Chains A and B, each alone.
Chain A
Amino acid sequence: MFLPRLVKRSFGQSWCLQGVRWLLALLLFGVTAVAFAADFDAAVQSLNGENFTVKEASIGDVVDTGHERSSTVLESMLNGLLYYRKSDGRMVIVAPVEQGYQVQDAASGEDLGVLGKRKVRKIAINNALRTSLRNALARLSLSSTERDVRYAAVQEMLGTMNKDSRALLEDRLAMETDERVRDLLGTALALYKLDSQDRDVRLQAVQDLDGSIIPQVRNRLVGLLASENDAEINRVLKQVLGSIDARLQLYSLAETAFFGLSLGSVLLLAAIGLAITFGVMGVINMAHGELIMLGAYTTYLVQSALPGHVELSLLVAVPAAFMVSGAFGIAIERGVIRFLYGRPLETLLATFGISLILQQLVRSTISAQNVTVSNPNWMSGSLHINEAFSLTYNRIYILIFSLVVFFALLAILKKTSLGLQVRAVSQNRPMAKAMGIRSEWVDAMTFGLGSGIAGIAGVALSQLTNVGPNMGQSYIIDSFMVVVFGGVGNLWGTMVGAMSLGVANKILEPWSGAVLAKILVLVFIILFIQKRPRGLFPQQGRAAEH
């Protein structure tokens, strides 16, 4: 709802500006685009005027042409990279290289090769010119057709408001149509008015700034509070600052919650397969982390096989990772674990051995180094809600993905016949067998399902973290903690456990640092398990007695 509106507006606006440009070109000059370019060329050439007054006027001319290279030229001038060629006086932009300068034509951008240092001379500027250059650049970006460029330009000017920039912004405000840019323009002008000698103007400005959560505003207001003498203004200032702080606190709380849920979703993804193999079957699978790793490597291999199709490869990777990790899981179950049912400690050791083998397998066949898995475009960037609060897309998608996986798994266990058989076998194996359920087949399928889910988790995690042979190890302890904390044999417990541990971690983090937060959470779980050995949501009934 939010997005289409923006698109429509900026589209309409650029169309409108295009029209203005056309009209200008037609009416005022009555010539074609060639003349327009020639005009720009002349303006650039005159930047090398004999004195600073001429140069200053030429800067205005360059801006007025509206040419796309105007800001490039002016920026080079500001940075002292605008030179002229001694042979013919052409204006050039230089970049220092070993043999002299790499030179390009200022007006056209055409590459003119490398010139000796003595063949060119710098265009001199002074402080007054620097100021007008900065203003000109600001004006250029303020009149950009891109909404975000304009917004950034105003943002840039917030801290350094003066009379010139004020005039500039007031002009802009008169023709600006975008709501967010207008708001920011208002904020910038109010900031300027805070310096006014007139008490009423200051008071009005403070009131205008109420509720603004831009960091510069808060800093300015705090500064004003120290220097302001007027009692009325001070009272309002305190009020305004109070409401700003309250809003900021709210947003930082929301941010902590989001980060916590995001971490929780990672934990959930890592633990959910384990909730099946450990929780439902009671098998301690120490190779679970490596099954996640296999899923991540499957993503990598699929991407290598489909170069250039990042989106598609990710779609292919999800089922592929499920198959790969699931197949490995079934092989582990059939090859090793089924000989060890009823001996959980031995299962733990054997699967740990398997985890070592899988790690070395990846190291030997693919690489001992981390591999890079690329993200699709729609996963990078962030959803910008306001100055104090933005959510990165990849975390949002992972959060959604983890919930989808969770509910899909829940549905499989509750609604399908496989799920029914799994639950029957886990609750009472002899009785299930007597009812004609092939319990061995169910064991293999259950283990394959849990392992396959681990593979899917690997696909998601490959988008967030490094993919390397050791990546599984960093999840295994956390995963077990989540399952044990949530209560063995209870998927909802795993979900609640993962989310609450994630949020707890992030609440502790600013106060104690990341590592200490993790330690505290671990210690908390260790103590919690002493109090409630069966976790948050213990299994009820006779099945729980094992």
Chain B
Amino acid sequence: MLLAKLYQQDRGGSFLLMALLLAAVLVPVLNLWVPESSPLHLSTYTVTLLGKYLCYALLAMALDLVWGYCGILSLGHGAFFALGGYAMGMYLMRAIGDRGVYGNPELPDFMVFLSWQEVPWYWNGFDMFWFALLMVVLAPGILAFVFGWFAFRARVTGVYLSIMTQALTFALMLAFFRNEMGFGGNNGLTDFKDILGFDLQADSTRIGLFLVSVLVLALAYLACRYIINSKLGRVVVAIRDAEDRARFVGYKVESFKLWLFVFSAVLAGIAGALYVPQVGIINPGEFAPLNSIEMVIWVAVGGRGTLYGAAAGALLVNYGKTYFTAAFPEIWLFALGALFVLVTVFLPRGIIGLMRRGKDRQS
């Protein structure tokens, strides 16, 4: 009954959820129970790759929530993603225990290498999984709150806001590159062994992480859809279309923007936290402005203001990236650059917009 209603109102969304359900069933079966000799077998490498794409899809959805529905083009979502990733990475780092190269039970390898005597205070608590999860939510959330609180109250909008967010992630990148920060500097955090006692290299753990990613993406979609369909969501769209009018009608524009921005940052942080155990490394490169701006193109390709379009765009562009960088590494930047230009000039509503237009013409 509920599902039927959902299907009626939101075809794209239900298609996305169906696809996720299908993936959640098929991927474990093809990976674990189909023998390796069979052409249908899915390698663990591919499973990890798919898991990575799902994290990107979640990130794109978070970005679409603020850009597509509220007109805030954040060029700094990579920062929130990376912060979530670092929080998870710190837990994984402490979980290594004495199995590191230097065999120090307390200190992660890079701190031994810098001949530090004890764990810095901000690493305390990361040996507990629940604390790390809390930080995955809080670290990006608080940063977004502080940044947004200043920016939205000062009515920094449009391009200015975009450039500020870009400067934010650039500053964080420079900071995390410093060894003195205590986050592993250039090399970042890596060499993880296990998560909650499960070996990260095992096929079953990979499948487990994949399934968690599927679940989180589905839940995040439903949460975003719920917010957009609520009264708050309608105000947010009103702000996107006519900010001054919304303000004059009496809405506190900056509060709406701020909470949406913080929620989006938290989603991005969760995506980062799911990403790190699957790829096995987090380093300051994730803060690079280029990464953040690439995320925007995922959303633009898929079609902004649809949520599922953003997810589809992330999957599509990243599949293209994997394919091109392996097959024609020279071509990839040309292709990506052309994608930016073509999509913005010819496809302002993305692939989803194209499909909708086609359908409108038919009927």
Contacts and interface: CB of A to CB of B under 8 A. Distances in A.
B150 to A, nearest CB: 4
Contacts of A350: 340-341, 344-345
Contact of A477 (B170, B343, B348): B170
B337 A353 contact: yes
Interface stretch (A150-158, A402-410, A502-510, A512-520): A512-520
A515 B174 contact: yes
B167 A526 contact: yes
A164 to B, nearest CB: 48
B154 to A, nearest CB: 4
Contacts of A339: 345
Interface in B89-111: none
Contact of B159 (A340, A344, A355): A344
Size category, A interface: 35 or more
B177 interface: yes
Interface of A, secondary structure class, is helix
Looking at chain B's contact residues, the main secondary structure is helix
A356 B151 contact: no
Interface string A326-345: 00000000001001100111
A477 B166 contact: yes
Nearest to B154: A530
Interface stretch (A212-220, A357-365, A425-433, A452-460): A357-365
B252 to A, nearest CB: 18
A529 interface: yes
Q: Which of A340, A349, A484, A531 has the most CB of B within 10 A?
A: A349
A522 B287 CA distance: 15
A340 B160 contact: no
A284 interface: yes
B160 A533 contact: yes
A48 B151 CA distance: 83
Contacts of A484: 160, 163
Instruction: Name, among A339, A353, A354, A522, the residue most crowded by chain B CB atoms within 10 Å (CB to CB).
Output: A353
A343 to B, nearest CB: 8
A284 B164 CA distance: 13
A508 to B, nearest CB: 13
Interface in B142-176: 147, 150-151, 153-156, 158-160, 162-164, 166-168, 170-171, 174-175
A398 interface: no
A522 B79 CA distance: 15
A530 B344 contact: no
Contact of B170 (A336, A348, A353, A522): A522
A488 B174 CA distance: 26
A344 B174 CA distance: 27
A523 interface: yes
Given A352-B293, A354-B337, A356-B333, A529 B160 contact: yes
A409 B309 CA distance: 45
B297 interface: yes
Given A284-B159, A530-B151, A515 B337 contact: no
Contacts of A477: 163, 166-167, 170, 289
Interface residues of B, number: 42
A360 B344 CA distance: 20
A527 B344 contact: no
A477 B345 CA distance: 24
A531 B160 CA distance: 13
A526 B73 contact: no
A364 B170 contact: no
B336 interface: yes
Contacts of A349: 293, 296-297, 300, 340, 343-344
B338 interface: yes
Contact of B341 (A336, A360, A473, A527): A336
A297 interface: no
Contact of A529 (B73, B156, B174): B156
A346 interface: yes
Contacts of A519: 171, 174-175
B334 A360 contact: yes
B348 A346 contact: yes
The 10 nearest A-B residue pairs measured at CB: A353-B340, A356-B337, A357-B337, A360-B333, A530-B154, A522-B171, A530-B150, A353-B337, A350-B344, A353-B341
Given A354-B340, A515-B177, 10 more contacts: A336-B341, A349-B343, A350-B340, A353-B297, A360-B333, A477-B163, A480-B167, A519-B171, A526-B167, A533-B154
Interface of A: 284, 336, 339-340, 343-350, 352-357, 359-361, 363-364, 473, 477, 480-481, 484, 515-516, 518-519, 522-523, 525-527, 529-531, 533
10 contacts: A347-B344, A349-B340, A352-B340, A353-B297, A473-B290, A481-B163, A515-B174, A519-B174, A519-B175, A531-B154
